[in-house]
Structure 1
Amino acid sequence: MSKALTSFLGENLADLKDKGLYNIIDPVEGPNGPIIKIGGRELINLSSNNYLGLATDSRLKEVGKQAIDQYGVGAGAVRTINGTMDVHLKLEETIATFKGTEAAIAYQSGFNCNMAAISAVMDKHDAILSDELNHASIIDGCRLSKAKIIRFNHSDMEDLRKKAKEAKESGLYNKLMVITDGVFSMDGDIAKLPEIVEIAEEFDLITYVDDAHGSGVLGKGAGTVKHFGLSDKVDFQIGTLSKAIGVVGGYVAGKSDLIDWLKVRSRPFLFSTALTPADVVACTRAIELLMESTELHDRLWENGNYLKAGLKALGFDIGVSETPITPCIIGDEKLTQTFSQRLNEEGVYAKSIVFPTVPKGTGRVRNMPTAAHTKDMLDQAISIYEKVGKELGILA
């Protein structure tokens, strides 16, 4: 290794560890369910995005096994050569029905969606109005497009309107787009989509909603856009197949012409091997289950509200979450890391989230209750939170 690289890595890794910003990855020994095993110990799992418990659902496992026997373990090619199988088309048709759009396109991940879709439509002659707390994949997708990035204050509609008006009246840009997360994953708050759509219609903005944490959670499962009844008003609906859906992948849903364009111009679609058949079939079955019943969705919300009430009653700062995402905001990065570690030692796996994922001084442990948790599990977790919170002086 070169001396320059050795010096760079050594100095910067040491700095991260000193500031409490170094992330340790804990391998899970077995399935990622409400209880996980790490280092031979069983822990109540409050750090998974597996909102509906579908990652370990027997119905999805069964169709996945059948797909492997019928189609093999891989698609064998990119979608535009001969990697598109009939199961891919069925998945995309199912997504479009689920999201209330004309068509949909599936990608290998939600991150890929934002890298693909933004840069396929926006370029250096355009501008993008982006919420300051948008996900890293949106930020990277905007940068890749080479469009002018205009950040607006988080969910500040006056600031968005002001900056949209300035951009429109400047005459500098061919197209304008407004991008927002549907649900913001660190705080659990919901985008003000009705106001955003109103501003977009006034200034002819392309509307783009990344609903990674809203699909399966809001709108009786169909997502944030459906929650507000705006399926015919939002141009791009982005989602993952790896969170509430429980498998892997991502998608863009919208008008047929938009999806056709992404199939011929979005680079991850053109240059990455297609999703595996087993994953595709499992995703399709998961979405079908959500369209057939709201049972899992309802249980998720019941558990989320129960955990929120318990932690708030103890005196924890749980922020402004409007969804099952439940942050316990600690502040100091080192104390946040210590808090998370002590929870782990007592039997709760709740990962610390610190800078650069969240702003400095706003470190938190983010709890992600799921439909698969029982009340007994949540009661145990709340009891452990109380013990550790008092021990570290976070609670009185």
Structure 2
Amino acid sequence: MKHLSKQLQFINDVYNHATDIGVIRLKARKDEYSNRVIHIEEKPLVNFATNNFLGFETDPRVKEAAIDGINRYGVFTSVSRTYFSYEHYLELEDKLEKIFGLPVFISNNTSLGHFSYLPIIIGKNDAIITDQFLHASVQVAVQYMKGGGVYNEMIRHNKMDDLEARIKVLSESYDRVWYLADSVYSMHGDVAPMKDIEVLLNTYDKFHVYIDDAHGMSWIGENGKGYCFHSIPKHEKLYAICALNKGFGGTSAALVFPNKETKELVHNCGFPVIFSSPTMHAGVTAASKIADIHLSVEIYEKQIMLSERIEYFNRRAKELNLPLANKCHTPIFYLGLGSLEEVFRFSKHLQSRGFLMNVASAPSVPMNQSGLRFILGLHQTIDDIENLLCEIAQFMEDLEKTGQFNRENIMKVFRRAERKRELI
């Protein structure tokens, strides 16, 4: 298409090629009773691809609650919550406020939540600093605000020295300085330095923070309140949004506020919330049942079981000398492979050996840092993890014997990228 930029044409070509060779846009049929196995063209693959860390999406109690929501309220009611909210919406928000210990409003999803939240709390004479790897859904909302005249610049990933330097400079010209970041980054699975961010919040009056905690929810923290609020339980200048899918296992998103006044402001003035339909009834009643579990001791049992899987993956990957991009204690792991060709080769091989994972390439990550993303959940067994890691290690060893792969070269790419971030 002549109107496409070179970047869009490249992305389009990559996606079409990946689709043709069978590593993305796969036709899937999930196992009827669990999330452990997904069938691709009738071939059963152990699932390391989906984000439901704690397994709530197939919990019989949650499914029954979803069915009850449909039976009681119907599939959907197309009315803005400005006019009225059914009792189960308000009940869910009450339960979420108990989980977070802060005011909460639910939106249909995180993307709509960003557009409802950010333009209300960030003024036209504020400055926005975004992390290099900030989730795309937040970046789209930032681009929207830039179109309205809000200043924005980007810093290298997790570089707190750079952030502090820019806070000092921008504070001289702007009313407030905002830092937008993820708590747990969706590609590499690494985390934001939340304690360092808290120090900056306490040091600079004009500094404010907005955290996308989509991948941090449920698997960590008191009542499963997520990585952000596990690290900083409360701060008057900390704003956050938490996905109620992924770790939580339901649907919609929780907009978490430092005070009731901001909640009411977003409720009254957040146009995407005002003018869009609410979450389907089944999603709300299912999320309410999941919230009940979060408010019980069971959430800690599930967190411990997932933590054991994370520790096992990290330990065995180190023993097998696999080129992981980071070794953080999160459910997301990233196997660095370098080129797209290697990513496609490894993906096809692992599929043939019975494993399903996510490919990662530009524009989500730099081109020379393409790789495979593996997501841990309670649906996998320790044997599943062991078999996956051993298969990766054996395939790498076989390729290295014939000079077709060099894991040390891969790690050098990631180390150089890290040093570059240190120097810039």
- TM-score, with length taken from structure 2: 0.86
> Does residue 155 of structure 2 align to residue 159 of structure 1?
no
Q: CA deviation at 1:6?
A: 9.9
2:256 & 2:11 partners in 1: Cα distance?
40
Q: CA deviation at 1:303?
A: 1.0
In structure 1, what is the equivalent of residue 254 of structure 2?
A: 251
2:334 & 2:52 partners in 1: Cα distance?
16
In structure 2, relative to structure 1, the CA distance for the partners of 1:11 and 1:98 (3 Å cut) is closer
In structure 2, what is the equivalent of residue 87 of structure 1?
A: 88
> Does residue 290 of structure 2 align to residue 283 of structure 1?
no
In structure 2, what is the equivalent of residue 263 of structure 1?
A: 267
1:380 & 1:168 partners in 2: Cα distance?
52
Contact 1:63 1:282 in 2 (8 A): yes
Contact 1:116 1:141 in 2 (8 A): no
Contact 2:201 2:237 in 1 (8 A): no
In structure 1, what is the equivalent of residue 200 of structure 2?
A: 199
After superposition, give the CA deviation of every residue in 1:217-246 in whole Å (9 maximum; x if it has no partner): 222522123322432355312110110111
1:330 & 1:12 partners in 2: Cα distance?
20
In structure 1, what is the equivalent of residue 14 of structure 2?
A: 16
Contact 2:30 2:37 in 1 (8 A): no
How many residues are aligned here?
390
Moved more, 247-256 or 119-128: 119-128
> Does residue 369 of structure 2 align to residue 362 of structure 1?
yes
In structure 2, relative to structure 1, the CA distance for the partners of 1:178 and 1:8 (3 Å cut) is closer
Moved more, 228-237 or 44-53: 228-237
In structure 2, what is the equivalent of residue 49 of structure 1?
A: 51
Contact 2:68 2:285 in 1 (8 A): no
Contact 1:116 1:269 in 2 (8 A): yes
Contact 2:19 2:25 in 1 (8 A): no
AA aligned to 1:280 is V
After superposition, give the CA deviation of every residue in 1:315-355 in whole Å (9 maximum; x if it has no partner): 21112231121111111121112111110111000121111
> Does residue 331 of structure 2 align to residue 324 of structure 1?
yes
> Does residue 318 of structure 2 align to residue 312 of structure 1?
yes
AA aligned to 1:175 is R
1:200 & 1:21 partners in 2: Cα distance?
45
Contact 1:44 1:381 in 2 (8 A): no
2:15 & 2:282 partners in 1: Cα distance?
40
CA RMSD of aligned residues (A): 2.5
In structure 2, what is the equivalent of residue 341 of structure 1?
A: 348
In structure 1, what is the equivalent of residue 277 of structure 2?
A: 273
Q: Secondary structure at the match of 2:324?
A: coil
Select which of 38, 41, 62 maps to 1:39: 41
In structure 2, what is the equivalent of residue 110 of structure 1?
A: 110
AA aligned to 2:230 is H
Q: CA deviation at 1:264?
A: 1.4
In structure 2, what is the equivalent of residue 65 of structure 1?
A: 67
Q: CA deviation at 1:111?
A: 1.8
Moved more, 309-318 or 238-247: 309-318
2:2 & 2:305 partners in 1: Cα distance?
53
AA aligned to 2:98 is T
In structure 2, what is the equivalent of residue 302 of structure 1?
A: 308
Contact 2:129 2:153 in 1 (8 A): yes
AA aligned to 2:285 is V
Contact 1:127 1:177 in 2 (8 A): yes
Q: CA deviation at 1:384?
A: 2.3
Q: Mapping of 1:229-244 within 5 angstroms?
A: 229-244=232-247
Contact 1:36 1:42 in 2 (8 A): yes
Q: CA deviation at 1:18?
A: 8.9
In structure 2, relative to structure 1, the CA distance for the partners of 1:304 and 1:39 (3 Å cut) is same
Query: Following TM superposition, where does structure 1 have runs of at least 4 consecutive aligned residues deviating by more than 3 angstroms?
Result: 3-15, 17-23, 391-396
Q: Mapping of 1:203-222 within 5 angstroms?
A: 203=204, 204-220=206-222, 221-222=224-225
1:356 & 1:8 partners in 2: Cα distance?
13
Q: CA deviation at 1:313?
A: 1.7
Q: Secondary structure at the match of 1:29?
A: strand
In structure 2, relative to structure 1, the CA distance for the partners of 1:14 and 1:267 (3 Å cut) is closer
Q: CA deviation at 1:290?
A: 2.1
Q: Secondary structure at the match of 2:82?
A: helix
1:132 & 1:53 partners in 2: Cα distance?
31
In structure 1, what is the equivalent of residue 185 of structure 2?
A: 184
- TM-score, with length taken from structure 1: 0.91
2:276 & 2:303 partners in 1: Cα distance?
32
Contact 1:123 1:145 in 2 (8 A): no
- Unaligned 5+ segments in structure 1 are none
In structure 1, what is the equivalent of residue 411 of structure 2?
A: none
Q: CA deviation at 1:19?
A: 8.1
Q: Secondary structure at the match of 1:49?
A: coil
After superposition, give the CA deviation of every residue in 1:376-396 in whole Å (9 maximum; x if it has no partner): 222222232233323443478
Moved more, 229-238 or 91-100: 229-238
1:26 & 1:287 partners in 2: Cα distance?
32
1:180 & 1:57 partners in 2: Cα distance?
31
Contact 1:238 1:250 in 2 (8 A): yes
Contact 1:327 1:366 in 2 (8 A): yes
